[in-house]
């Protein structure tokens, strides 16, 4: 009998397989009433573009709108940009219909798309994780684009109980660098007889460089 795969990301929606889903990570909101977040949402009228790099960024952004009692319809007059299809679907679930997405669902793909747009006089808001890669932000800085980086949540390890028996699986599927780090933390001795699969080029590169360190 073929052994199943084990998905250790957040919820399994990123995986197209019939893998068992046991999250090794979870997200937690940051303090919304911190000075920086309050200030960034006070300026919401001024932004021309809202740029989402994850579906969790969408989730926590709309929770912040509710917290600050801001009508979500404020987004209808702005350009919404999503990194990929799962993030786009999350945004559409809140009634946002006009959404731009890049050909490649990475920060590099976003940079390529933005490079072909006229964003010289734009003002970007980037609701995101405090662990997000800096590639996109660095590109916007190089272009001298006005922006606010709004860290709304973080990702932490989650130890499942009970721990899964890895001998029952033939493959471990990772959805993010955070899931790789958490797996290594929980299983310091990485079984070498398993297949390790990453979703997306960024996680694939991180997995290759860090799994057996």
Compute the C-alpha angle 82/87/89, nearest 5°.
Answer: 110
Averages of pLDDT over each 10 residues, the chain, 213 residues: 87 71 95 95 96 96 97 93 94 94 94 95 96 95 96 96 94 94 92 90 91 75
Q: How many Å separate Cα 172 from the centre of its chain? A: 20
Position 17 scores a pLDDT of 63
pTM above 0.95, yes or no: no
Any idea where the domains of the chain sit in the sequence?
A: 5-24+158-210, 29-154
Position 16 scores a pLDDT of 58
CATH architecture of 29-154: 3-Layer(aba) Sandwich (3.40)
Distance, CA of 137 to CA of 102 (rounded, Å): 16
Long-range contacts of 64-69 (CB under 8 A, 24+ apart): 64/32, 64/37, 64/127, 64/152, 65/41, 67/32, 68/32, 68/38, 68/41
């Amino acid at each position: 009998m073929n052994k199943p795969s084990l998905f250790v990301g957040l919820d399994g929606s990123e995986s197209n397989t019939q893998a068992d889903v046991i999250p090794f990570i979870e997200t937690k909101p940051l303090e919304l009433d911190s000075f920086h977040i309050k200030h960034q949402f006070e300026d919401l009228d001024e932004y021309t573009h809202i740029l989402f790099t994850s579906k969790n960024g969408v989730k926590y952004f709309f929770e912040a709108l509710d917290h600050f009692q801001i009508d979500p319809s404020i987004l209808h007059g702005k350009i919404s940009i999503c990194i990929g299809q799962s993030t786009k679907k999350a945004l559409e679930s809140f009634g946002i219909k006009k959404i731009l997405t890049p050909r490649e669902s990475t920060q590099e793909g976003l940079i390529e798309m933005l490079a072909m747009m006229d964003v010289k006089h734009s003002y970007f808001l980037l609701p995101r994780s405090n662990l997000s890669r800096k590639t996109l932000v660095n590109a916007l800085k190089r272009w001298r684009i006005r922006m606010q980086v709004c860290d709304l949540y973080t990702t932490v390890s989650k130890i499942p109980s009970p721990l899964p028996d890895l001998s029952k699986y033939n493959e471990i599927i990772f959805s993010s660098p955070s899931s790789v780090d958490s797996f290594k933390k929980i299983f310091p001795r990485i079984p070498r007889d398993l297949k390790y699969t990453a979703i997306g080029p960024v996680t694939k590169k991180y997995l290759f460089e860090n799994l057996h360190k």
